[in-house]
Amino acid sequence: MDFASFLIQMLNSLQYGLLLFLVASGLTLVFGIMGIINLAHGSFYMIGAYLAFVLTSATGSLFLAILLGIPLTFIVGAFLEWALFSHLYKREHLEQVLLTYGLILIFEELRSLLVGDEVHGVDIPAIFSASIPLSDVLSYPVYRLVISGVCIVLAVALYFVIQRTRLGMMIRAGNHDRTMVEALGININMIYRVVFALGFALAALAGMLAAPISSVFPNMGSHVLIISFVIVVIGGIGSVWGALIAALVIGFADTFGKVLMPDYAGMVVYLVMAVVLLWRPEGILKKG
């Protein structure tokens, strides 16, 4: 592997890892704060990608699609929390698994009814459609760099919100001890709703950003869901920073696995997880 192709794979790993972080951060926050295992989180990613396809076709611009999509998914997320997930907080994990499994079936079939089962493409916005030449034959698409940039900005923003704002303080406190937070007169239900809706919007945003490079296809959510689980397990449940580290590790392992040993690429990620489980059964960073 020469330097240019190595650089390309490094950038791809970074971009994939950061995108996975957007999905996994919402999942880990919902686990950490509400104690809910949400199998439908991968569907949120799928919904985002399909929204990007439908809204881009309607408005003609991915930017408009994303601008419309974020508030839309936030509202749908808040509604789902109110209608379904708020009834699950005191239930067993098994019932949470069951309900969210049912939701996956519903979302996939609704997708099939409304948009169909074909594979769709979404155009890269014209200003980002260029490529940067790296050598005589190799070049790197600008759009992938834009995705990485957006993800880094969002990660920093998430850090700022969680560490530096009053809402973030309440979220961290809720992660630590929800009963105590409630006793201090904070409306924990409102916090739950905001965090859940935020998680939905982040996963959907990841789907919208990924739509032009991965294309839009049925069952695209389930693979992302399982990889996100692996990230949460490696990073430690409830730890956003653990999720960031783990997402980058998985991004690199998966990308280089595909390049170096294509036959076994699907397994590399899970082997990384097995090693981490032997080393630290509760993840690299524990909840806290």
Q: How far apart are CA 167 and CA 171, in angstroms?
A: 6
- Output the CA–CA distances (angstroms, integers) from residue 140 to 126, 183, 203, 211, 259, in the order listed: 16, 53, 25, 18, 16
Q: How far apart are CA 278 and CA 275, in angstroms?
A: 5
Site mask, other proteins, residues 168-207, x = CB under 8 A?
A: ----------------------------------------
The token duo for 33 is 């704060």
Which residue in 12, 7, 73, 75 sits closest to 46, CA to CA? 73
Residues 6+ apart with CB under 8 A from 201: 26, 70, 73, 74, 77
- Asked if residue 104 binds other proteins (CB under 8 A), the reply is yes
Site mask, other proteins, residues 52-71, x = CB under 8 A?
A: --------------------
Site size with other proteins, rule: CB under 8 A: 44
Q: Which of 72, 167, 186, 265 binds other proteins (CB under 8 A)?
A: 265
- Asked if residue 277 binds other proteins (CB under 8 A), the reply is yes
Question: What is the smallest separation between the CB atom of 237 and other proteins, expressed in angstroms?
Answer: 6
Query: Given the complex with other proteins, which of 123 and 282 has the nearer CB atom?
Result: 282
Query: Given the complex with other proteins, which of 111 and 144 has the nearer CB atom?
Result: 111
Which residue in 170, 207, 186, 182 sits closest to 48, CA to CA? 207
Site mask, other proteins, residues 122-161, x = CB under 8 A?
A: ----------------------------------------
Of 66-74, 197-205, 208-216, 268-276, which segment contacts other proteins by CB under 8 A?
268-276
Which residue in 168, 176, 170 sits closest to 189, CA to CA? 170
Site mask, other proteins, residues 201-240, x = CB under 8 A?
A: ---------------------x---x--xx-xx---x---
Give the alpha-carbon dihedral of 230, 236, 194, 212, to 10 degrees. Answer: -30
73-102 binders of other proteins (CB under 8 A): 84, 87-88, 91, 93-95, 97-99, 101-102
Which residue in 261, 237, 266 sits closest to 250, CA to CA? 266
Question: What is the smallest separation between the CB atom of 97 and other proteins, expressed in angstroms?
Answer: 6
Amino acid at 239: S
Report the 10 Å Cβ neighbour count for 204. 31
Query: Given the complex with other proteins, which of 126 and 279 has the nearer CB atom?
Result: 279
- Asked if residue 113 binds other proteins (CB under 8 A), the reply is yes
Contact 38, 53 (CB under 8 A): no
Footprint on this chain of other proteins (rule: CB under 8 A): 31, 35, 37, 84, 87-88, 91, 93-95, 97-99, 101-106, 108-110, 112-113, 222, 226, 229-230, 232-233, 237, 263-267, 270-271, 273-274, 277-278, 281-282
